[in-house]
């Protein structure tokens, strides 16, 4: 059984978008200052190009990436790799979520109760978001150092003749341990 703790804020869809968006940025951080094509990102993430194009566009709106002007269909990191944090990724993902339509409660004697509940839930949401942002801000994506060739790490599906001990082929940075 899958527990709510297995997902960011208990939301599987949000968690999946957060993880894939992070994968895209990690690949771009790893290849910085070079760009990566959608095809390269597709091989790296195992996701369809159409989905990756939407996520790259969302990262562009968040000013974390930009299209490569020299190579059509390629993306490049728009800032220094050491300034990109998981908070930036999370803000990008939640900014790109479909908007929820708020229902207006019917006017009756319960209006005051509904207002108080809405206020309480809003305050709790703000406190949770502030806490989440504070924690995610501590994780810069440049913590993930890649092999000397600065290639994006291989995914398990691409490592047919390699050990499955680790999902990614990263160098270990002793300062992070």
Determine the number of helices (DSSP H) and then strands (DSSP E) in the chain. Answer: 5, 3
Q: How confident is the model at residue 167, as a pLDDT?
A: 39
- CB distance 54 to 170 below 8 Å: no
d(CA 31, CA 71): 15
- Output DSSP code: residue 65: E
Q: How confident is the model at residue 142, as a pLDDT?
A: 76
Q: How confident is the model at residue 143, as a pLDDT?
A: 74
> End-to-end alpha-carbon separation of the chain, Å?
31
Domain ranges within the chain, ordered by starting residue: 4-101+140-171
Architecture of the domain whose range is 4-101+140-171: Orthogonal Bundle (1.10)
Please give the average pLDDT of every successive group of 10 residues along the chain, which has 177 residues. Answer: 62 88 91 91 93 94 93 91 89 79 57 77 80 87 56 46 38 39
């Amino acid at each position: 059984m899958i527990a709510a703790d297995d997902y960011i804020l208990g939301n599987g869809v949000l968690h999946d978008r957060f993880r894939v968006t992070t994968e895209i940025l990690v690949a771009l951080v790893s290849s910085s200052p070079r760009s990566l094509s959608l095809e390269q990102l597709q091989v790296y993430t195992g996701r369809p190009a159409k989905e990756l194009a939407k996520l790259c566009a969302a990262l562009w709106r968040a000013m974390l990436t930009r299209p490569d002007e020299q190579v059509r269909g390629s993306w490049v990191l728009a800032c220094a790799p050491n300034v990109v944090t998981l908070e930036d990724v999370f803000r990008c993902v939640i900014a790109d979520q479909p908007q929820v339509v708020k229902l207006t409660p019917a006017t009756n004697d319960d209006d005051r109760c509904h207002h108080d509940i809405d206020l309480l839930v809003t305050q709790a949401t703000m406190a949770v978001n502030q806490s989440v942002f504070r924690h995610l801000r501590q994780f810069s994506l440049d913590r993930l150092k890649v092999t000397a060739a600065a290639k994006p790490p291989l995914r398990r599906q691409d490592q047919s003749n390699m050990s499955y001990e680790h999902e990614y082929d990263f160098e270990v940075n002793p300062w992070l341990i």
